[in-house]
Chains A and B, each alone.
Chain A
Amino acid sequence: MSIPAIEANHVVKRYARKRDSVTALDDVSLRIEPGEFFGLLGPNGAGKTTLISIIAGLARATSGQVRVMGYDVGSDYRSARRSLGVVPQELVFDPFFTVRETLRIQSGYFGLAGNDAWIDEVIENLDLGPKADSNMRSLSGGMKRRVLVAQALVHRPPVIVLDEPTAGVDVELRHGLWQFVRRLNRDGHTIVLTTHYLEEAEQMCGRIAMLKAGRIVALEPTATLLARLAGVQLTLRVRGTLPALLNAEAINPGQPRYVVRVSAAAEVEQVLATCRAAGCVIEDLEVGRADLEDVFLQLMSNDVDRKAA
């Protein structure tokens, strides 16, 4: 069995408050294999950034163990951090330096002197060439985001963590960024991605972990997750009352729309017939297949239901 790119075992993170503590991560365990394109999803406050911070050494776990390429992030932090490149969520930069100075300095922090050939290649691949000698302050948000990606790559880490890399990024840059990240993944880099754009995760990630309130509620290949809601999904707007036996899910209480899931296209006619028999008039009908967003919403609501029960 190969050494996992990232391995988290029973990680707990609690933040102390004045009178009590808040649990950001509650017994999180996962294993990401080398070369994977892995998605880490969850609503705001689920613990994604906390988990990434612990992996990157920016925060310390209350208990549990995290390894990057087999190196413990605490006891063997130098090797663990050399193995990891992190693109932070916030658009941060050092206003004193040019793009090239920023990358040279970042490379030096990792113990690499004379790394200019690789820095030039990263600059070229991220289309930063025309701005290489410009001060960071003068760059647009999109260009600053590219520099953040370049900074994460200057030491050629085998594992790259992208924390919401496309937040606030225009379509063109997003497209270019994903092309580059796909190429890195093809070249053998392990990619860990957090994003709120579930469509991106569905397209890019081979495996996905979903976090909710600090716990992993799903950890499966993307295809398996999507198969949870296999079949055909009917979205209906109706006049009258939808028959209870259809087991429909209301998705817009203000202007009632319902989702009915059936296992095969042949069952669609049965749904329509049931509506007709009940005197329910269908005003609008959409037929589609479940996507990651549907799975995400279902998992999150199931979790809420379980807690309520």
Chain B
Amino acid sequence: MSVTPAAGQAPLPQRFGAIAVARPGVGFRTLLYKEVLRFWKVSFQTIAAPVLTGVLYLLVFGNVLDQRVEVFQGVRYSAFLVPGLVMMSLLQNAFANSSSSLIQSKIMGSLVFVLLPPLSHLEFFAAYLLSSMLRALVVGLGVFVVTAWFAPPPLAAWPWILVFALAGAALLGVLGIIAGIVSDKFDQLAAFQNFVIMPATFLSGVFYSVKGLSPFWSAVSRLNPFFYMVDGFRYGFFARSDVDPWQSLAVVGLTLAAAAGLAVRMLAVGYKLRG
């Protein structure tokens, strides 16, 4: 059988039959598929566990505070809490997916299988980002479905829910890529997770409105990009928020653009990946 290689493709030995010609986009789709399959195969840990954690937060805080706290007038505290818990779970899992995949494959050495093929840095970036967003959205949806059963919130301006869910998942997915690239040990990644992501998430207004804080802490909260993600996301449910959702979107969008630019640059130069 005579097979002519495609333009720009190396001539290959033909002993074992017809040569499959490389098709554009297959490499990216395969990396995306592999990343999705990776978290799907351990879905008890990557999906079910965070959903359960979200529900436990709601049950504990909701039961204790439902009768004592009213953040938005006429809204049960449990219902107020639902969007914050959904967003918190979504953000944490977007970060965990890309960062843990990269650090595991770096430490185990299997990252070489992704670095040897002809994948571009943009394909690499997009595959890790989209898989993180997918896991984040699946977890977020799971947390929403279960918690909303206990305390259903309204969906007063639902397009904002989609916008901030996508933007938040993307930003944390990108931060996960950066953390995974920079970290050489699980310990370093855990430090990033415990000392940056976790405090930023907890201090973003998941459990409260920043309007209830002192002026100083309210101003400090406004320096936290996570606050704008939670606040904008909550606006989609109650059509009420601490800041204008367009302002939140601008802050999140700019932060995402800066983080994505940094991550793409790191991948393009092979920072800590290609010696």
Contacts and interface: CB of A to CB of B under 8 A. Distances in A.
Contact of A96 (B27, B38, B118): B38
B13 A187 contact: yes
B27 A58 contact: no
Given A69-B10, A94-B105, A189-B13, A109 B27 contact: yes
Contact of A111 (B13, B23, B116): B23
A84 B116 CA distance: 9
Contacts of A155: 22, 117
A58 B116 contact: yes
A56 interface: yes
Chain A interface helix/strand/loop/mixed: loop
Interface residues of A, number: 51
A309 interface: no
A157 B12 contact: yes
A77 B123 CA distance: 14
A117 B270 CA distance: 34
Interface stretch (A85-93, A262-270, A272-280): A85-93
A57 B10 contact: no
Interface in B78-116: 105, 108-110, 112-116
Interface stretch (B28-36, B165-173, B184-192): B28-36
A15 B110 CA distance: 23
Interface string A214-234: 000000000000000000000
A239 B41 CA distance: 70
A270 to B, nearest CB: 53
Interface string B17-50: 1011011101101110110011001100000000
A84 B117 CA distance: 9
Given A81-B116, A156-B16, A110 B22 contact: yes
B124 to A, nearest CB: 10
B4 interface: no
Interface in A3-19: 15
A112 B12 CA distance: 14
Interface in B237-275: 270, 274-275
Nearest to A111: B22
B212 interface: no
A94 B10 contact: no
Contacts of B274: 57-60
A88 B38 contact: no
Nearest to A60: B274
Contacts of B11: 69, 158
- State the majority secondary structure of interface residues on B: loop
A112 B22 contact: yes
Contact of B113 (A101, A106, A187): A106
Interface in A75-107: 76-84, 86, 88, 90, 92-97, 101, 105-107
B15 A78 contact: no
A23 interface: no
Contacts of A93: 108, 110
A54 to B, nearest CB: 9
A88 B112 contact: yes
Contacts of A109: 27, 30-31, 113-114, 117, 119
Contact of B27 (A84, A111, A157): A111
A134 interface: no
B8 interface: yes
A155 B113 CA distance: 13
B9 interface: yes
A82 B119 contact: no
A108 B29 contact: yes
Given A60-B275, A81-B118, A158-B11, A105 B30 contact: yes
Contact of B108 (A56, A92, A151): A92
A56 B13 CA distance: 19
B110 A94 contact: yes
A162 to B, nearest CB: 14
A117 B34 contact: no
Given A97-B37, A109-B114, A156-B19, A188 B13 contact: yes
A60 B270 CA distance: 9
Nearest to B7: A79
Most buried by A among B22, B110, B112, B116: B116
A113 B26 contact: yes
Contacts of B270: 60
Contacts of A59: 274-275
Interface of A: 15, 53, 56-60, 68-69, 71, 76-84, 86, 88, 90, 92-97, 101, 105-115, 117-118, 121, 151, 155-158, 187-189
23 contacts: A58-B115, A60-B275, A68-B10, A79-B9, A79-B118, A81-B118, A83-B12, A84-B116, A86-B112, A97-B37, A108-B27, A108-B33, A110-B27, A111-B22, A111-B118, A113-B26, A121-B16, A151-B113, A155-B22, A156-B19, A158-B12, A158-B13, A187-B13
